[in-house]
Structure 1
Amino acid sequence: MLSKLFNQKYNTLFFLLGLIIFSGLNLFSAACTELHFDEAYYNFWSQSFSFGYFDHPPMIAWLIMAGKFLFPGEIGIRIFIVLLSALSMILLWLMIRQYNANALIFWSLIFSIGLIHPYSFIATPDAPLFFFTALFFYLLCRYLKNNNFQNTILIAFAIALTIYSKYHAFLVIALVIIANLKLLKRFSSWTILLFTLLYLAPHIYWQYENDFPTLSYHLTESHQTQYNPLETINYILSELAVTGPLLGWFFLYILFTIKPQNQWEKTLKISGAGIFIFFLLATFAGDFEAHWTLAAIIPLFILSYRYVSENQQWQKWVMISGIINFVLMLALRIIIASPNSGNIKALAHFSHNRDNAYLISNYAGNKPVLFQDDWIDASLHQYYSGNSKTASLNSGFYRRNQYDIADIDEQLSDASVVVLTRDSLQFKDYQRIVTKRKTFYAKTIPNFRSYYNIKMKLEDVNITDNSLSINVLLNNPYAKDIAFGDKDQTQSWFQLWTKKGKKWVLIDEKETGLMNLHTNDNINQRIDFRVDTNILSDQKIYLMLKIGELKPLPSKCLIKLQ
């Protein structure tokens, strides 16, 4: 009944009013909320222009870079996310106008779907992915009706921008192709492929030049765990929550059961349902993050709008859901922007980051700061302290990230550097720094050298009873010779490690003794370990090299005992 008040004459006005409220809330959150650690990490990316970065494509870094040119502070980092979110709403509005558009139902649905709102102001790759996926579906609707040259070029551009945002775009594109196999007979489809590859050429070249780090990371390192049935259950519950939380079950039911009226709706259904099914199956191979299905929200929203607009008995419930969610999200935005958010575990990452940076800076002063195996705190400290010489020092225990490519620790060679760790046993003497969330153990190292670019290559492994003999080749890429074992900083050990769950366990170690490694040269070393090979036969064993008090080098060798 309320929807009758929103007749066609006032629909555009009410839509614009809703857009102002939606964007106003996003501007408030963008300006008043401290950065999440992911945002601080992407801000680190934005300090140098590139066609690629370690974890994701470059779009988010470009947007942050452009925003900081316009505004300082958090608002500068997020301003283009707010703008793209507003444009996403306009695209959704244009796409549902074919269903007798009603602004009240539209905004009720928008506020009923929780997953839309965090990524309407938080600067992560998901925000541009959402916008460019919406643009892609909008242009796809036009292309299916008329595959002229203009629509062909535009849709290729949209596909490329979606891929430049996040690689989840490949899943969307694959599902669209599955839904439209007949399109492969069109000459224009291959024209789209050609122009998409041309648009992506700089990024492809960057990946090639850097040995495809992103592909390697996501396929072999990221989210790889043994199957846990609870992951699958958590995924289902999480998706019910983020697509609602009140009516998520209803919107998912519509997506999976609605009968498409045309090829475009068929594409929407297969794409949306396919994304949810894909990540459900992915839980059998690893863990998940609830927001990975964000691109599926676009087809879910459009098809849900069509269903609700055709079934008036559901309009009241969608409006009630929208009002309740709006009030809850408004309260949540206010809480996140306040200092009290630190008292809530789920929101703690949005608070006290500035205070923590101040505490660490009190000890470090103007010295460079390196966080051992900690890209999260390195990114936050760099932003809130303003210390550009801040980085994560990534050991063989830790996952690779953009700091490995930036190689900041090598730029600090021979400087006086502060190294912070969460491991109280790492340093013989240290300064304890207690922040709002963590305790760090800091040490100032004069004439710092990490030696983290030394490479190891396994040459030969011989196994006998209780003995493991290894030949390893070491490469020195530095412009200086390295003399191992001549002082504390270069006292070194070859170590055998295995990983049990998330914990690394030391099996055995042998001190290298005095060893000279000349610049740009290789040296072959033989190490004999005393180990029970029967116990180790079912585990992954890694050979690592530890130099000084830093954790082992990133370069490590997997030893196959079978």
Structure 2
Amino acid sequence: MAVRIPSSMRVFLLVFLGLNLLQSANTPLLYDEAYFWYYAQQPALGYFEYPPMISWLIGIGLQFHGGESGVRLLPILLGAGTALFLWLCQDNPRKDARLFALVFCAFPLLHLYSFISLPNSVLLFFTALSLWAFRVFVNAPSRRRSLFLGVSLAGLLYSEYLGIFVLLVMSFAQRGLIKNRLYLQALGLCLLLYSPHLIWLGLNDWVSLRYTFFERPLPEREPLAFTSGTLLKLTLVLGVMTPFVYKGLLNWKKENLVDRVSFLLACSLLVFYFLSSFQRPVSLQLLALFSLPAFLLSLSFLYERENWQKWLWPLAGVQVAILFYFRLSLIFPGMALYPHPAHDIPEWTTQLEQRSDSLPVVFENNPQKAALFSFYTGRPTYSFNTFSFRKNQYNLDTLTENKLRFQKVAYLSEQDPQAEHLSSIDSLLPALPVQFPFYSYRNLEAWLDSDKIESRTISTRKLRVYNPYQDSIPIGQLKVRVAFRDANRGILESYPAPFLVKTDEHDLEGPMDQVYLKSTDTTEFRITLPLDAPEEARYLQIALSEYGQLPGLNSRIIRLKLEEKE
């Protein structure tokens, strides 16, 4: 698999890599980057929202360098690798390094994910690597190339779940490939390498997939607004490259393997995005993967149609200049036409340090800012998630929770100005309220005796609560509430649910401090559900409140199919 890279391409890769390294060292972490840095503090085979590849790479980078540069080191190297393997993928004799560099730099998301540390940064690299490995394998199948392809595909799936699209497209892009013994060996190796993450998902109740498909709240907007928004976002992702991409889609070469895979991948992603848009708006991050086949198809078209290149150079040149201006404005705030949240991080951090008086800070429903504050101050932080928010990695993070339990902490509520904005006009904000001791048992697990409720009448149900902690919790410090959700799974309100504690002999009325949720044990309750629910309620969830804290989300979502009152 020896490769030859022309000198002009080497110059581009080195310059591009050098610029990204300079950018990374002088640009504050974005919210999500800080969140994935928090991932990396606890190496694992999986996390609440994403596979573990991004956290592994951040952890490795921090071994070589601290600060923002360490967080971004490996993804930046992979960003240059993405450009390299996209170059190697092409087998067009007319390919030109200058044209390649211009088109690559004209795609906004290829820019963005080349210098920040997010799962899509890694996804783009492993997609390009897998595409090159696939091309090499199909051209001359061998056992060694089969093994290399299997490893590449495993890296793809470890990067982001969206990688399954790439794997499926490759499997059906070449006729008869799915029956090829060596290709099946590659898929088998991919599955073997990916099995630790699958086992982690199974042990953690498929938390990532369950949340993504069944529990994530949906925005309350009209489907057509989402669809039209997707068209607008797709245009923003492509910018002035839009006409070249569509020409590439219409003029792809069936006999060219890379064109064929790119066309099928682009079309499958477009179908997926538009179908998804009828339920929720499609984020720009989800459109990142589309940029890669769009880049390859537009470049393939431009190689063959030189008359279109005269329009490309001025249009793409302007877009590249705008993108580099945006990148410079992240480093030099005075250049920015509009303030970016990253510019306010130093002031926000300083104010919050003063207000918290050197104490660990607990953020209410704010995982990204909790991670950001911890990164820049080195202080322990925790995101205390309540029923009005969504679950995230802090719901799985019992280690951080255990460290802060019973400690003296400063508590930043959702209503605080610094929870809403990075900086505050008022520099004389009062000290944060203190909780001592801080009680948190967010990982109590609850199961109702039914996964569907079909009556509006008040009813008594069995509820089991599992206590995974080493501490036994007094029943008197526990309150049970029912959180109702609408058709979009958004929270409407929570209501108290009176309960009895069921023992082997009889029922005991709570609260009673002499009765406990025993450590690593399950306690059974009889609770009264307030099913005189809001008319728009379509789901409910059990919310437990411990030691007077705001209730969390402790059960799965339960569907309501309520009959009308007579």
Is this a same-fold pair by TM over 0.5? yes
1:338-381 CA-to-partner distances (Å, cap 9, x unmatched) read: 34589836x32x22223222222222233222112211211111
Letter in 2 for 1:218: T
Q: Does 1:75 align with 2:55?
A: no
Q: Quote the sequence identity (%).
A: 23
Contact 1:545/1:556 (8 A) holds in 2: no
Contact 1:99/1:309 (8 A) holds in 2: no
State the partner residue of 2:560.
560
Contact 1:256/1:269 (8 A) holds in 2: no
State the partner residue of 2:493.
506
- For residue 229 of structure 2, the aligned residue among 214, 223, 234 is 234
Contact 1:419/1:444 (8 A) holds in 2: yes
- For residue 387 of structure 2, the aligned residue among 383, 390, 396 is 396
Cα distance, 1:41 vs structure 2: 0.6
CA distance in 2: counterparts of 1:464 and 1:221, whole angstroms: 22
1:393-445 CA-to-partner distances (Å, cap 9, x unmatched) read: 12233222211222222332221122221136xxxxx9999851699994211
TM-score by length of 2: 0.86
Contact 1:81/1:121 (8 A) holds in 2: yes
Q: Does 1:539 align with 2:538?
A: yes
Q: Does 1:319 align with 2:320?
A: no
Letter in 1 for 2:223: N
Contact 1:60/1:124 (8 A) holds in 2: yes
Q: Does 1:525 align with 2:508?
A: no
State the partner residue of 1:427.
none
Q: Does 1:274 align with 2:257?
A: no
Cα distance, 1:112 vs structure 2: 2.2
Output aligned runs, 1:25-424, within 5 Å.
25-96=19-90, 98-222=92-216, 224-225=218-219, 228-243=223-238, 245-340=239-334, 344=338, 347-348=340-341, 350-387=342-379, 389-407=380-398, 408-423=400-415
Cα distance, 1:129 vs structure 2: 0.9
Contact 1:432/1:442 (8 A) holds in 2: no
Contact 2:120/2:160 (8 A) holds in 1: yes
Cα distance, 1:42 vs structure 2: 0.6
Contact 1:396/1:553 (8 A) holds in 2: yes
Cα distance, 1:91 vs structure 2: 1.6
Shift in alpha-carbon separation, 1:404–1:321, aligned structure 2, 3 A:
same
Contact 1:246/1:321 (8 A) holds in 2: yes
Deviates more, 1:415-424 or 1:305-314: 415-424
CA distance in 1: counterparts of 2:48 and 2:530, whole angstroms: 38
CA distance in 2: counterparts of 1:85 and 1:134, whole angstroms: 10
Cα distance, 1:484 vs structure 2: 4.1
State the partner residue of 1:472.
463
CA distance in 2: counterparts of 1:264 and 1:173, whole angstroms: 14
Specify every segment of 5 or more residues in structure 2 that has no aligned partner in the other structure, as ranges: 500-509
State the partner residue of 2:503.
none
Cα distance, 1:169 vs structure 2: 0.8
Cα distance, 1:153 vs structure 2: 0.8
CA distance in 2: counterparts of 1:231 and 1:19, whole angstroms: 38
Contact 1:456/1:474 (8 A) holds in 2: yes
Shift in alpha-carbon separation, 1:315–1:440, aligned structure 2, 3 A:
farther
SS of residue matched to 2:240: coil
CA distance in 2: counterparts of 1:248 and 1:462, whole angstroms: 49
Shift in alpha-carbon separation, 1:166–1:24, aligned structure 2, 3 A:
same
Contact 2:411/2:435 (8 A) holds in 1: yes
CA distance in 2: counterparts of 1:318 and 1:551, whole angstroms: 57
State the partner residue of 2:448.
458
SS of residue matched to 2:394: helix
Shift in alpha-carbon separation, 1:340–1:404, aligned structure 2, 3 A:
farther
SS of residue matched to 1:98: coil
Contact 2:541/2:553 (8 A) holds in 1: no
Cα distance, 1:145 vs structure 2: 1.1
Q: Does 1:494 align with 2:481?
A: yes
Deviates more, 1:246-255 or 1:131-140: 246-255
Shift in alpha-carbon separation, 1:273–1:208, aligned structure 2, 3 A:
same
Contact 1:495/1:509 (8 A) holds in 2: yes
State the partner residue of 1:447.
437
Cα distance, 1:386 vs structure 2: 0.9
SS of residue matched to 1:541: strand
CA distance in 1: counterparts of 2:84 and 2:292, whole angstroms: 12
Cα distance, 1:560 vs structure 2: 3.2
CA distance in 1: counterparts of 2:419 and 2:290, whole angstroms: 46
1:504-542 CA-to-partner distances (Å, cap 9, x unmatched) read: 333643566523324144444344466645x54753233
Shift in alpha-carbon separation, 1:281–1:529, aligned structure 2, 3 A:
closer
Contact 1:370/1:391 (8 A) holds in 2: yes
Contact 2:538/2:559 (8 A) holds in 1: no
TM-score by length of 1: 0.87
SS of residue matched to 2:449: strand
CA distance in 2: counterparts of 1:82 and 1:481, whole angstroms: 47
Letter in 1 for 2:441: Y
Contact 2:385/2:391 (8 A) holds in 1: yes
Cα distance, 1:235 vs structure 2: 0.8
Contact 2:487/2:539 (8 A) holds in 1: no
Shift in alpha-carbon separation, 1:536–1:261, aligned structure 2, 3 A:
same
Letter in 2 for 1:248: T
Aligned residues between the structures: 538
Contact 2:538/2:560 (8 A) holds in 1: no
Cα distance, 1:491 vs structure 2: 6.8
Letter in 2 for 1:474: V
Contact 1:454/1:553 (8 A) holds in 2: no
- For residue 436 of structure 1, the aligned residue among 410, 423, 426 is 423
CA distance in 2: counterparts of 1:431 and 1:101, whole angstroms: 52
Contact 2:35/2:371 (8 A) holds in 1: yes
CA distance in 1: counterparts of 2:256 and 2:113, whole angstroms: 30
Contact 1:495/1:546 (8 A) holds in 2: no
CA distance in 2: counterparts of 1:195 and 1:432, whole angstroms: 46
SS of residue matched to 2:77: helix
Cα distance, 1:559 vs structure 2: 6.3
Contact 2:542/2:553 (8 A) holds in 1: no
1:194-253 CA-to-partner distances (Å, cap 9, x unmatched) read: 11112212222222222222222222234645662111111112112212x112133133
